[in-house]
Structure 1
Amino acid sequence: MNGINKITLAICLSLLGFSKLSQAIEFNLDVLDSEDRSNVDLTRFSQAGYVMPGNYIMAVYLNEQNIADREQTIPFYADKKVANTTKLCFPAGLVERLGLTEAALGKVIFWHQEECADFSALKGLMLKGDIASGTLYISAPQAFLEYNDPNWLPPSRWDNGIPGMLLDYSFNASASRVHQGGTSKNASLSGTAGVNSGPWRLRGDYQGSYEFSSSTRKAQHNFDWSRWYAYRAIPRLDATLTLGENYFYSDIFDSFRFTGVGLASDERMLPPNLRGYAPEVRGIAKTNATVTVSQQGRVIYETTVASGPFRIRDLNRAVSGRLDVQVSEQDGSRQTFTVDTANVPYLTRPGTVRYKTAVGRPSTYQHHIEGPLFGSAEFSWGVANNWSLYGGGVGADNYQAFSIGLGRNLFMLGALSFDATQSIARLPGQADEKKGKSYRLSYSKRFDEFDSEVTFAGYRFSERNFMSMGQYLDARFGGNTVAHSKEMYTISANKSFTDLQLSLYATYTHQSYWDRQPEDSYSLSVSRYFDFMSHKSLSLNVSASRSQYQQRYNDTVYVSLSVPLDSGKSLGYSGQSSNNRLNQALSYTNNVDINNNYRVSAGVNNLGRQEATQVNGYYTHRGENAEISLNAAYYQNSTTSAGLSMQGGLTATTKGAALHPVGINGGTRLMLSTEGISGVPIEGGAVRSNRFGIAVLGNVNSYYRTDTSVDINQLADDVEVSKGVVESTLTEGAIGYRRFSLLKGEKAMSVIVLPEGKHPPFGASVMNTKGRELAIVSDGGLTYLSGINAGESLIVNWNGNKQCQVSLPNKIPTQGNLLLPCQYIK
């Protein structure tokens, strides 16, 4: 071992004698404590960053950002003009992923039969290959690049992912027994199946249900594919093309179902600071409950929530219009209300145009075409720095609607928009045309200095004879009596008092009709954190809400107090009054770790003069294969119930397959390879690789630069990481693929011997069959190996070529030097 230390010291001292690392270095071999100074290969150290000629698998990074969707083959060719040097060949096919400006691209030249790019004309752009980490690093001045944002990359570097199949699901089941009565069982299933090929995504949404009641001894069940469609991104247009069954999503006109073609701007393709918002749903659950969000009969979101206020914020950004929300309580009751996802003012940045177009025919839930051929188009044009002009039209046989509007940035006063829509409809059996107008005013303002925001999202007035396309179709083909909207306005506001650790949120919606009673709903919540004696960060929440559905009101007031304990534990009190029913309970919550939490509570339920005890529990586990929730409840003299909720998916590609939790059904996901190593913790241990070394993250944001990392703090002792962070920017619905660079194996001190009894030269490189360098040979063949596995083969390289092969024994000794014969490669 003393010889090894002398060798290392000698090399370091010899390097200090040179001031320019770019110049060739000649080593004085006389200072080496080596038995055979003629058997030394230090050519790889004679040039700084020297790489032996050959092809290498590398990740490609530009300014510390990964620009390739997978590792690339990077050739290094021997330089014919300068001895002991190589030239890096940057593949011509990767140039477009650099996101260079047109001026910079014009200066790039190509060599080696046009296969390699030469950036020497771009001063300051540098390339460096690092064989040890398997990475090609590129440093480029921002002046040569199209756009600079830490969380967004230009379209040239977006990844469409790899071909594959997916099956996502949301399953909910419950069983209850009524006191001195019968039993009932309920189950629901919804999700998305899909296939990816290049930029195209084929999707099918499905939903089904099962109900059984012992009182009727009958079971009801159904299953249906609610829609089939395909879509792809068109990056040059900042738009998404959709084919098949779809919903008419518009910022101006009301929604309806159709079959056809749609092309729409997708603001998610824009930099983050130019994007809009996603709708959210708020409510209060009386018990452990299942919340189902649907639109025009199609389930778009379903989850299980614990009792108390809930807030759903991960709906798809494409969702707009009126949403139907059903809260199925564990005691068998149900509350239903609607949410209007009104947009903030329709403003567009100067000089750009946002648009949506569609052509097709209206269709039913049974996949039948029902209605005339229609066409639609709408736009928003940034006329000037503070003005936007927007409008559009929908045209079909016997129905037309046209709209025009203006949006204005009022600076300190917020943003305002106003539009007017004219509809003309002709119904069978009616001689006169139905002509009507609708007017809409929207306002939004954020008061940064007061840490508050007000959205008046909007006021809308419609004349009696105004009809949307959906109302026209219902009247003409469904024979339905349509409720004609008169006035609708929604006001929402939130305010934070930082010094008091207090936040307020309020929203109010009023909807009146020409031919039926008006509907009103509101929600108000106040939250505050405070300290009391030795207890820190207590949380107090007061919420009140009213929802109205089919002329029935549901008024709820909820109060809760949470007292934190240690290590994620807390005690709580809750009181809830709803429709003359008062519930009070004490609870204990334990957030065991990032993947597990549970809550148990006990209390009293008062209905009039009757009083009953209630006990319930709620447990959530985010597993490697799915997210699972279990709940159970007992209500004295009423019901006993239990429920199960599972959300997950299966993603399969030629690179592997895995079960995993999901975010949005059918949405973007990232498949990760850990090179066959199982149990590797990723993203803080939220996901672990399966037995085949594959993991899938199912909650990846589309068009957003995302870093994903191995959690080295939870990594097994026999696993080493050389590249534990990967980067991705995926298009919508993509199945991305990235590979971590890991080594799993033992460590051993060895002596490598050639067939004639000599040793490989000092400085020779030892690599595994994956091309990963494991060690450098020292004097006398002495080599310290790491990341080796019994029975595998190793390759020893010197003079720029593969020279001999080592076969490791079936059992690697833990002590002493390992003698390894190395057979020449013919």
Structure 2
Amino acid sequence: MDINTAKADDYFDPAFVTDPSGKVLNVDLSPFEKSSFIPGTYRVDIYINDQYANTQEVLFYSDKNQGQLQPCLSDTQLAEYGVKPEYYALLEKSGECVSFKDISGVKAEFRGGQNRLNLSIPQIAFDQRILEAKQELLWNDGIPAIFTDYNLSGIHQNDTKNHDISDSLYLGLRSGINIGAWRYRNYSTWSRDTNGDQSWENQLNYLERPLRSIKSNILVGDNFSDSNVFDNVSFRGIKLWSDDQMRPAYANVYAPAISGVATIDSTIDVYQNGYVIYRTNIPAGPYELTDVVPLNSGSNLSVVQRGVDGSERRFIVPFSSLDFLQRKGGFNYSITAGQYRMNNQDSDNAGNKTKFVQSDAFYGLTDNTTLFGGFQAASRYQAYDLGIGMNIPVIGAVATDIMFTRADPDNFDSMNGRAFRFRYSKSLTDTGTNISFASYRYMSGDYITMTDMFDNYTGRVDTSAYLMRKGQMDITVSQDLPEFWGMINASVSHQTYNTYYSNRERNVESYNIGYSNALDSFTYTLNYSYYKNTINNRNYNNNFFEKERDNDHVISLNINIPLSGRFKDNWISYGASYNKDNDFDNYVGVGGLALENNNLSWSVQQGYGNHDRGNYGSVYGRYRSRYGDANAGYSYKNDNRRLSYGLNGSLMMSQYGATLSRPLGDTNGLIYAPGAEGVRIINSAEARTDNSGLAVVPNLIPYRNNLIRLDPLSMPDNAEIDTTLKEVYPTRGALVLINYDTYLGKKILVTLRDRNGDIIPFGAYTESDDKTERFYVSNYGRLYLTGVGDTNNIHVIWGDDNQYQCDFSYTTEGKRRVNGLYIFDETCL
């Protein structure tokens, strides 16, 4: 016997809904055939290709052919969302509503439970720039607020042999005020040393705001310059610089353009390290992809072009990058003007408070070439730099620049210097090799940086013995070994210094090589490092002789073994080291996590060192709470005993009240869910709302879509929220309000029967007071309501006639309650 299968749409036959006598009740069940929502106007979040576009009221109508509620959107609205005119013009209209069924790949999906409308539009018909411009309108400067971030630490030390007891304290404060787009920030520290001497320092003190129209920030006050060409310096003045975060993600990360020709409509997949990082559909003809965002800056891009006829073409786009490389047409800049500030701000050195201007810029000349340069100018110092950076196929990313300087220091002739710099980066995916090379060779003895000039060559009587850096070389290489064999990494650094008259020189060298591996969860590392510091003096015969020398080498081994089973959040560790003086140290330790959400971390170590250094050990613990972090530790070694402790957190004050929280980030959010206390924020495991429904979410990403999720299982019994997910686009430094509509009241599950004892039929409903929401009766006459009072009168409808409507009253007093839900039966009359 042949058995054929067929698929049919869901259909609810109203004939099955009858009264006790068998009479059909004519309950309208059509909304349940494809959706649990009825046609009408809903306020929804609109997403285009999974990117948030807008929140607005949209009319939804029932389309029997589509089988689901369809949005009524005009062609004008589609154009605003980024659908290209040549494509939305083809959409069939029904009045003001376009039909999505006539173009392949264009889909609309209404998720009523999430108040969300998903629009899927093929890349070929979608203009990303329009949506990006629309998202800029969502940038949120946040609410007015005052905050302070604190970090308190202390040490109590006891030298039992010498009967010496000492205490020291440190307090760091990062405070700020937000008003509109303006941000005021102050970084201050207070300390008391072991002698009881106290000091207070204002390290940074400035006013800042974003300039959206030019994708930049402006800052006035005490801060540091921001440069990729020169050394950053402390200043008091003004700074203007471009902000990459204001640009789309693809625009602030360098990648070469991918171009080619398609003979037929095709799909392009771009792979990096085996992962698909980009996919788009293209029509027949030439194409150029300029919005690919790579996973990393050193692996080639593999491109697969698949035609609709099944044809396939593959090719490689070589890719290596350095931090400052720009896409074609990309432009970054920084300008700083003001007074130079020495580390010792109260210094009477003439270099302190010297007025200067500093600027640099980077421009993407082609897909693979970036030009850059800059200048520094002060009354007695000038520097000019010009360079080029390139992504060279096969070779890698290369950059070189040359700097010219002129200085007029006190007690010396004018110094005209030159410096040459070379940088290189390459990742060989096939072999797992990563190479980073930077070589600086200061080509003349008269080269001097602005920092050296102002700190050491201005207002000093004798600077002939001061050592200036003249050369530096840094190389870092890492190599992935075959599977299960781990990784090797190595680094070399060499720096040279000499005096103005070149009669004294210093060489600092360091070498490091390490091996690491992981077998399941067992990890171990083996490392060797060598350090050498040599100072030579030139004698009267103009020959160098070694005057001072300091060197050391260290071999170390570290092993970490996680436990399993009931101790899965704990581990055992072992470490050992050996140096040139034949000092051998080794220790064994245990540590772990404890309490709910692993709020408590702890460790205990015990070690031993030879050469009469004896035993040593330590105990350390850290507790992370929604109000801040606390830590404490105790250690001993020979005759020394040391107790350390610390607290860090923040206090935020706004129009919604004061809130204690863990340390803040640069950009933060404030959740406000009035009446909902103790709700957990999934984005931050320790964060929970306080008794005012407030909670701070730190470390939001500026100018990007941040998803904030609440844990519905942590909601209190007397509260419900309309949605657990919110999205915000904060500007840099903002405190954005994340407001949740909270419905306070009881939650009830009532089984309804009529006067004859028969259950109220499936599909009956009651409406909210404002008629915007319906609550439907489910199987067995059950009705679930939230946010209701202790007593209430409810009207239930399942037909137009009065005989198909009823009312019931209830009180929660004396009713059965399970997990905050009142469960009872009522008669609807």
Judge same fold: TM > 0.5, yes or no: yes
**1:280-679 matched pairs, under 5 angstroms:** 344=322, 346-363=324-341, 366=345, 371-427=353-409, 432-475=413-456, 479=460, 481=463, 483-515=467-499, 517-522=505-510, 524=512, 526-529=514-517, 537-544=522-529, 546=531, 556-566=554-564, 567-577=568-578, 580=581, 581-592=583-594, 594-606=598-610, 608=611, 610-636=612-638, 638-654=639-655, 658-662=659-663, 666-673=665-672, 676-679=675-678
Deviation at 1:78, TM superposition (A): 10
Deviation at 1:178, TM superposition (A): 0.9
CA–CA distance in 2 between the matches of 1:257 and 1:142?
47
Matched to 1:678, the amino acid is E
Q: Name which of 194, 197, 208 aligns with 1:231.
A: 208
Structure exhibiting the larger radius of gyration computed from Cα positions: 2
Deviation track 1:240-290 (CA, whole Å, cap 9, x = no partner) reads 33332221121111221223332223334455566579xxxxxxxxxxxxx
CA–CA distance in 1 between the matches of 2:395 and 2:440?
18
Question: Compared with structure 1, are the counterparts of its residues 407 and 359 closer, same or farther at alpha carbon in structure 2 (3 Å cutoff)?
Answer: same
**1:116-135 matched pairs, under 5 angstroms:** 130-135=111-116
SS of residue in 2 equivalent to 1:687: coil
CA–CA distance in 2 between the matches of 1:60 and 1:51?
17
2:17–2:761 Cα contact (<8 Å) kept: no
Deviation track 1:187-242 (CA, whole Å, cap 9, x = no partner) reads 222242123344433222222212234xxxxx122223322223334455443333
SS of residue in 1 equivalent to 2:670: strand
**1:701-712 matched pairs, under 5 angstroms:** 701-710=701-710
Q: Name which of 184, 207, 211 aligns with 2:193.
A: 211
What's the TM-score, normalizing by structure 1?
Answer: 0.71
1:371–1:477 Cα contact (<8 Å) kept: no
Deviation at 1:391, TM superposition (A): 1.0
Q: Is residue 2:712 matched to residue 1:695?
A: no
Deviation at 1:517, TM superposition (A): 3.9
1:151–1:706 Cα contact (<8 Å) kept: no
1:95–1:117 Cα contact (<8 Å) kept: no
2:668–2:736 Cα contact (<8 Å) kept: yes
SS of residue in 2 equivalent to 1:681: coil
Which stretch shifts more, 739-748 or 588-597? 739-748
Matched to 1:350, the amino acid is K
1:494–1:505 Cα contact (<8 Å) kept: yes
Deviation at 1:536, TM superposition (A): 6.7
Q: Name which of 15, 18, 31 aligns with 1:45.
A: 31
Gap regions ≥5 residues in structure 1 = 1-13, 19-26, 80-84, 214-218, 278-342
Gap regions ≥5 residues in structure 2 = 1-7, 63-67, 255-320, 536-547, 801-805
Deviation track 1:499-534 (CA, whole Å, cap 9, x = no partner) reads 243222332322212215425253635243366xxx
Partner of 2:57: 74
Matched to 2:512, the amino acid is L
Deviation at 1:107, TM superposition (A): 11
CA–CA distance in 1 between the matches of 2:99 and 2:149?
45
Deviation track 1:657-700 (CA, whole Å, cap 9, x = no partner) reads 543333xx651223345564333333387234223333333233
Q: Is residue 2:243 matched to residue 1:261?
A: no
1:708–1:725 Cα contact (<8 Å) kept: yes
**1:5-20 matched pairs, under 5 angstroms:** none
Which stretch shifts more, 763-772 or 672-681? 763-772
Question: Compared with structure 1, are the counterparts of its residues 500 and 763 closer, same or farther at alpha carbon in structure 2 (3 Å cutoff)?
Answer: closer
Question: Compared with structure 1, are the counterparts of its residues 93 and 266 closer, same or farther at alpha carbon in structure 2 (3 Å cutoff)?
Answer: farther
SS of residue in 2 equivalent to 1:351: coil
CA–CA distance in 2 between the matches of 1:153 and 1:428?
57
SS of residue in 2 equivalent to 1:185: strand
Question: Compared with structure 1, are the counterparts of its residues 497 and 673 closer, same or farther at alpha carbon in structure 2 (3 Å cutoff)?
Answer: farther
Which stretch shifts more, 555-564 or 488-497? 555-564
Deviation at 1:599, TM superposition (A): 1.3
Deviation at 1:136, TM superposition (A): 3.9
Matched to 2:635, the amino acid is A
CA RMSD of aligned residues (A): 5.2
CA–CA distance in 1 between the matches of 2:97 and 2:379?
57
Deviation at 1:628, TM superposition (A): 3.0
CA–CA distance in 2 between the matches of 1:544 and 1:568?
32
Matched to 1:748, the amino acid is L
Which stretch shifts more, 591-600 or 49-58? 49-58
Partner of 2:258: none
CA–CA distance in 2 between the matches of 1:457 and 1:160?
40
Question: Compared with structure 1, are the counterparts of its residues 239 and 747 closer, same or farther at alpha carbon in structure 2 (3 Å cutoff)?
Answer: same
Question: Compared with structure 1, are the counterparts of its residues 372 and 503 closer, same or farther at alpha carbon in structure 2 (3 Å cutoff)?
Answer: same
CA–CA distance in 1 between the matches of 2:625 and 2:232?
37
CA–CA distance in 2 between the matches of 1:374 and 1:526?
44
Deviation track 1:161-189 (CA, whole Å, cap 9, x = no partner) reads 44433322232222111113221112222
Which stretch shifts more, 58-67 or 196-205? 58-67
Matched to 1:513, the amino acid is Y
**1:728-747 matched pairs, under 5 angstroms:** 728-738=728-738, 746-747=747-748
Which stretch shifts more, 679-688 or 248-257? 679-688
Deviation at 1:420, TM superposition (A): 0.8
CA–CA distance in 2 between the matches of 1:600 and 1:158?
47
Partner of 1:242: 219
CA–CA distance in 2 between the matches of 1:714 and 1:791?
22
CA–CA distance in 1 between the matches of 2:721 and 2:515?
44
Partner of 1:286: none
Partner of 2:49: 63
Q: Identity percentage over the alignment?
A: 19
Question: Compared with structure 1, are the counterparts of its residues 753 and 561 closer, same or farther at alpha carbon in structure 2 (3 Å cutoff)?
Answer: same
Question: Compared with structure 1, are the counterparts of its residues 78 and 467 closer, same or farther at alpha carbon in structure 2 (3 Å cutoff)?
Answer: same
SS of residue in 2 equivalent to 1:471: helix
Which stretch shifts more, 674-683 or 373-382? 674-683
Question: Compared with structure 1, are the counterparts of its residues 471 and 808 closer, same or farther at alpha carbon in structure 2 (3 Å cutoff)?
Answer: farther
Deviation at 1:602, TM superposition (A): 1.1
Question: Compared with structure 1, are the counterparts of its residues 799 and 483 closer, same or farther at alpha carbon in structure 2 (3 Å cutoff)?
Answer: farther
CA–CA distance in 1 between the matches of 2:668 and 2:109?
31
CA–CA distance in 1 between the matches of 2:209 and 2:795?
47
Partner of 1:281: none
SS of residue in 2 equivalent to 1:472: helix
CA–CA distance in 1 between the matches of 2:127 and 2:643?
56
The higher relative CO (CA closer than 8 Å, separation ≥ 6) is in 1
Partner of 1:21: none
SS of residue in 1 equivalent to 2:232: coil
What's the TM-score, normalizing by structure 2?
Answer: 0.71
Matched to 1:622, the amino acid is R
The count of residues paired between Structure 1 and Structure 2 equals 708
1:74–1:91 Cα contact (<8 Å) kept: no
